[in-house]
Structure 1
C-alpha cells in the first residue's frame, strides 16, 4: 500500500517502483504512438520546474496552462507541480478571447503557457495586449499580474525548437518542498455567466483518491485506463495517475487534432493497449456498442466483421449526466462490469454503483453513498427540511475531498455551502429504500449536455447582440446521446431576419475546433412570434422548452 501526503510524494513513489514502465500512452489520429515513462515524466518535469524557478515562478504562484492533451501538457503540468506553483486550466473557445482573459483576470496568473503556432492560438488574442521581452517577460496594463509567457512548440525530434528535445538538452533540475495544504491545481467548471468558475483543490484533496472506497482504486492490480477527458479537468488531470498508479491512454491532440472517427479511435486504443477500464462520452459508448452489435451479427451470418472485440476491458465507467437503462445496456456489451459514479469537480465522488443486471437498472440510479461522503435530500423551498425516503428535493453533499474555494470569488464560495458545511450540488434527486441516490437532473435553468452543465444566460446575451433579434431563450431539448441538446428559441424583429442569419452570427462569435461535437453553438434554432410570460413579465422558460421539444418532435 502506497502512503503519501502530496501528489509530488506520490510521483516519487511511483518512479521508485515503476520507473521504466509506461505512465502515459498517447495515440494520435494518424496512428502515431508516444509513451512517457514514470522516469521520463519526473526527469523532464523537474527540468521544466527549474525553468520556472529561473523565472522566479514557484510556490504561491499560478500558471495558466492552455495546451491541449499531449505529452507536452503532461510534462508542463508535472513541472508546475514540482516547482511548487499550481496550474490553472486555460480556455479559449470564444472568438474574442473573453474566456481566456477572464481566466487570466480572475486567477491573477503570473505566467501563461501556450503554443503560438496552432490554429486559434491564445497568442493571437494575447499579443495585442502585452509587450513581450526577449526572455519571455511581459508587461501589460490590462493584465498587470501577468509577468511571463512560455511558448511550448512541437518540432522535429532532435531540434532544440521542439519543447521535449529542449528539456532533454537541459541539465538543471528542481523540486520544491510541497505541503499537503498547498494548492495543487485550479480546475474549471460551469459558470452561470458563461465563464468557468475556478475550483481550487489542494494536494490533500487529490491524494484521497488513493484511499477511496471504490473497486477502481485497488492498488494490488495493474490498471490501464482509457480516458479522453481534457487534462485540465479534474477527471482527466495529469496528476491523478501519480496518485492511483494507473497507466493512462489518451489522444495526442497536438498530433494532428482530434480523430476524424473518434469511435474507431477508441476501439483501436482499447484493443491495442488492452485497457482494463475506460471512461468516454455517452455518444461514443452508444455508437461503439452499435458497431460491436452489427459486427457480431456479421460474424454469425458468416460475413467478415467490420470491427473485432477480442479484448474485453474489465470495466466501463459511466457518469457526468443522469444515466438511463438503455445506456447501461449498451455499455454492458463493451466491458465485463459497468460502474456508475456520481461526482463533480467541486465535491469529488459521492456515490457509486456496480451494476448487477443491466436489464433491471433503474434510470438515474447513482448507487450507494461512499463512506467518505454524506448526503441529504432537502426541500426545494426550505433546505432545513430533510425529506423522507422517495421524495425528490435538492441534493446536498459533504465529502472529505471537497474543493477549498472558488478562486478569488468569496461570494460564489459562500453561496455554494450551507451553514453546516454541505455543498449545494444544484442537482435534484432522492434516496430510495435501498439507500441508493437517484439523481434526476439539474434544479435550475442549467442544461445537462453530455459531460457539461451549460448555463444559457451568457449565450442568450451574445445572441441578442445579433441585428434583428428581439429576444431569445436557449433551452435544452431531448437528445438520445447527450441527454439534452441546445436549442435557441428566438423572437425576430422582422421577416428580413432569418434563423440562418443567427446561426452564421453565432458561428463567427464562437471558436469552432476540429472536435465540435460538443461545441457551445446551438444545434437547433426555432422562431417564435412571442414567448409565454408570467404575471411578473418574465418568460416561461419551462413552457418554451416543452414547446420546442414538441415542434422538433423530440422525446
Structure 2
C-alpha cells in the first residue's frame, strides 16, 4: 500500500474548537474574540501602547470606514509594505472588514521587486511607511509603472503619502450601517489575502486563499499548538509571511492571546522584551533561538516562556534540548508548511519525543492528506523518499491570474505538488529531506536562483549568471553567483554585489560573485549547476 495519510474528517470536525456561532471569516471570528476576551489585552506595541480586546472591534471598524470612504470596493486588493506594528494589524483587518484582500509585501524588497508585485496584483492602494532600516519605501517606487495604484497611505511616517491619522479621519463620513453591510456581505469563500511567493520561473506568484480555509486551518493549528487565552505572544516573524500573520496574530486572536509585535530582531532586545512583557509564546526559525542562546540570555528573566514552534529541514537535537534546558521553554514543537497551504501542513504534538521533534515536521493537521510519490506519480511506502503532495482545505485556490502555474501546481484531484522531497515514517511523521525545486533557504527565507538570476540580468554588465546556495554558519545557506560579463563590459565581483544590494532584498544578494568566461552547459544549453557545486 502506498504511503498516504487520510485522517478521519469527522473526528477533525468534532475536535476543532468552536468560538462563534457566526460566519467563519477573519473579521467575524476576530470580533467574536473581542467580545469573548473583552478584559484581556489584545495588542501591546513595542512602545508600550496597549489595546484591549473590548476596544479591538471599534478600532478595526474605524479603519474599515476609512477604506470605504476612499472608494475601496469588495474584491479589491490592498498592498501592505511595512514592518510589524500595531497599525499593520488594524489596517489589515480594516481592509478585510471592508471586503477587500490584503497583499503583504516583504519589507526587504527593493523598488523593482515591489513594483512587480503591485502591478501583478493590481493593488489599488499601498499601505507603507516613510522609512524602515534606512530604506525610503515611497522613494524606491519612483519610476515604477503602477497603473492601478491610486493612493499611498503611511501607517508610519509623514513623507510620501497620506498619514494614517488623516486617512482614518476620512472614515468619519461613513455610517456604521455601511460597515455592517460590508461585514454581512463577506462570505467564507471570499478571498482574504494574496501572498506572493517566488518561483523557479523567476517571477513571484500570488497564492490566493479565502477566509474560510484560513479559519479552518488556524482553529486546528491553535488547538494543536496549545495556545490559550491570556498567552503573551511575541511575534518577531514578519507579518508579510504566513508565520507572522496567520500562525502569528490571527492564531493569537482566535484564542485570546495578547499580540506583541516586534519589528526588528535583535537578540538582546528580544530577551529584554521577554522579561519586560512576560512573554509566554515565542515562535521563530532556528536562527532566532540560536542567536538568543549565543547572547547573554542568563542575564534576563525568561521564566514566563512556555511554548515555541520552529521549523527547517533539520533542527539540531542539541538546539531543542537547549531551548528546554537553557531558555526554559516548556513545550517546543516543529512544523512544516507552504504559502500555498495557508502556511501549515504538518505539526509535531507536545507528547512527541525530542528525536521526533528535531528530525521530523510532525503529522498533518486533522483533515489534511499527504502522499509521497515517485517521478511517475506512483505512491511510495513509508521509508521511501519521493515528492510530497498535499490535499485538503488548506490548499490555496490557485495563483492569482495565473491559470497555467495553478494547473502545474494542483492536479485535477486537488493534490498540490510541494516540490519538496520527503519521507513518511511508520507513525506518519514527515521528514523533509531535500528540495525538488531549485531553492535554498537563507535564514528562514526561501531564495530562488531563477529569480536572482532574473534580477541580475538587469545589470548592464551581466550577460549570463547562475546562482547556487553555499553553506553559511549563521544563515544555513547564502547565494553565490557565477557571472559571465557582456562583451566589452567590465565589472568586479564587489561592484556586482554592490549593485545587487541596491536592487534586491538582502537575503537574495550573492555573498560571493565569481566571474567566468563561460558557464558550464549541457548539449541542450542548460547550465550544469552540479559542476558549479563541486
TM-score range for the pair, normalised by the shorter chain length: 0.7 to 0.9
Q: How many residues align?
A: 497
* C-alpha distance after superposition, 1:113-164 (max 9, x if no partner): 23346654443255556xxxxxxxxxxxx54433444344447xxxxx8635
Match of 1:414 in 2: 407
Deviation at 1:215, TM superposition (A): 4.5
Deviation at 1:286, TM superposition (A): 0.8
Residue 40 of structure 2 is aligned to residue 25 of structure 1: no
Contact map agreement 2:130 2:157 (CA 8 A) in 1? no
Instruction: Return 119-128 or 391-400, whichever deviates more.
Output: 119-128
Distance in 2 of aligned mates of 1:264 and 1:324: 23
Instruction: Return 417-426 or 82-91, whichever deviates more.
Output: 82-91
Match of 2:362 among 360, 367, 372: 367
Match of 2:436 in 1: 443
* C-alpha distance after superposition, 1:10-43 (max 9, x if no partner): 122112122343212222xxxx322232233321
Distance in 2 of aligned mates of 1:193 and 1:98: 17
Match of 1:7 in 2: 26
Match of 1:431 in 2: 424
Match of 1:289 among 293, 298, 304: 293
Distance in 2 of aligned mates of 1:432 and 1:389: 5
Contact map agreement 2:78 2:127 (CA 8 A) in 1? yes
Match of 1:502 in 2: 496
Deviation at 1:101, TM superposition (A): 2.3
Residue 294 of structure 2 is aligned to residue 280 of structure 1: no
Give the 3-state SS of the residue equivalent to 1:229 in structure 2. coil
> How do 1:256-271 residues align onto structure 2 when only pairs under 5 Å count?
258=264, 262-271=266-275
Match of 1:551 in 2: none
Match of 1:69 in 2: 84
Distance in 2 of aligned mates of 1:194 and 1:269: 38
Match of 2:5 in 1: none
Match of 2:11 in 1: none
* C-alpha distance after superposition, 1:252-292 (max 9, x if no partner): x4xxxx36xx1112212222222222112322211212336
Deviation at 1:358, TM superposition (A): 7.0
Residue 522 of structure 2 is aligned to residue 534 of structure 1: yes
Which has more helix, going by share of residues?
2
Contact map agreement 2:200 2:437 (CA 8 A) in 1? no
Give the 3-state SS of the residue equivalent to 1:235 in structure 2. helix
Residue 250 of structure 2 is aligned to residue 250 of structure 1: no
Give the 3-state SS of the residue equivalent to 1:346 in structure 2. helix
Contact map agreement 1:364 1:440 (CA 8 A) in 2? no
> With CA pairs under 8 Å and 6+ residues apart, which has the higher RCO, 1 or 2?
2
Distance in 2 of aligned mates of 1:389 and 1:154: 54
Give the 3-state SS of the residue equivalent to 1:401 in structure 2. coil
Distance in 1 of aligned mates of 2:407 and 2:99: 27
Match of 2:333 among 329, 339, 344: 339
Match of 2:532 in 1: 544
Distance in 2 of aligned mates of 1:362 and 1:52: 44
Distance in 1 of aligned mates of 2:148 and 2:494: 42
Return the TM-score normalized by structure 2.
0.84
Residue 129 of structure 2 is aligned to residue 112 of structure 1: no
Match of 2:317 among 322, 325, 331: 325
User: Relative to 1, partners in 2 of residues 1:170 and 1:351: Cα closer, same or farther, differing over 3 Å?
Assistant: closer
Match of 1:550 in 2: none
User: Relative to 1, partners in 2 of residues 1:496 and 1:370: Cα closer, same or farther, differing over 3 Å?
Assistant: closer
Instruction: Return 275-284 or 237-246, whichever deviates more.
Output: 237-246
Match of 2:9 in 1: none
* C-alpha distance after superposition, 1:388-441 (max 9, x if no partner): 111111000112222112111111111111222111011001112232111113
Contact map agreement 1:394 1:427 (CA 8 A) in 2? yes
User: Relative to 1, partners in 2 of residues 1:277 and 1:107: Cα closer, same or farther, differing over 3 Å?
Assistant: same
User: Relative to 1, partners in 2 of residues 1:232 and 1:37: Cα closer, same or farther, differing over 3 Å?
Assistant: farther
> How do 1:467-546 residues align onto structure 2 when only pairs under 5 Å count?
469=462, 471-491=464-484, 497-510=491-504, 519-528=507-516, 530-545=518-533
Instruction: Return 241-250 or 462-471, whichever deviates more.
Output: 462-471
Give the 3-state SS of the residue equivalent to 1:279 in structure 2. coil
User: Relative to 1, partners in 2 of residues 1:461 and 1:310: Cα closer, same or farther, differing over 3 Å?
Assistant: closer
User: Relative to 1, partners in 2 of residues 1:423 and 1:489: Cα closer, same or farther, differing over 3 Å?
Assistant: same
User: Relative to 1, partners in 2 of residues 1:285 and 1:189: Cα closer, same or farther, differing over 3 Å?
Assistant: same
* C-alpha distance after superposition, 1:91-119 (max 9, x if no partner): 57554x22222222221222222334665
Contact map agreement 1:285 1:330 (CA 8 A) in 2? no
Deviation at 1:351, TM superposition (A): 1.6
Structure 1 unaligned segments of length 5 or more: list them: 130-141, 156-160, 296-306, 548-555
Residue 220 of structure 2 is aligned to residue 212 of structure 1: yes
Contact map agreement 1:188 1:199 (CA 8 A) in 2? yes
Instruction: Return 429-438 or 489-498, whichever deviates more.
Output: 489-498
Residue 227 of structure 2 is aligned to residue 224 of structure 1: no
Distance in 2 of aligned mates of 1:531 and 1:169: 57
Residue 382 of structure 2 is aligned to residue 389 of structure 1: yes
Contact map agreement 1:337 1:354 (CA 8 A) in 2? no
User: Relative to 1, partners in 2 of residues 1:323 and 1:102: Cα closer, same or farther, differing over 3 Å?
Assistant: same
User: Relative to 1, partners in 2 of residues 1:48 and 1:524: Cα closer, same or farther, differing over 3 Å?
Assistant: same
Instruction: Return 218-227 or 331-340, whichever deviates more.
Output: 218-227
Contact map agreement 2:209 2:397 (CA 8 A) in 1? yes
Match of 2:35 in 1: 16
Contact map agreement 1:100 1:122 (CA 8 A) in 2? no
Deviation at 1:362, TM superposition (A): 7.6
Q: Report the RMSD for the aligned CA atoms in angstroms.
A: 3.0
Distance in 2 of aligned mates of 1:190 and 1:364: 27
* C-alpha distance after superposition, 1:315-359 (max 9, x if no partner): 210125443334333433321121011112211422211476876
Contact map agreement 2:313 2:431 (CA 8 A) in 1? no
Match of 2:12 in 1: none
User: Relative to 1, partners in 2 of residues 1:506 and 1:182: Cα closer, same or farther, differing over 3 Å?
Assistant: same
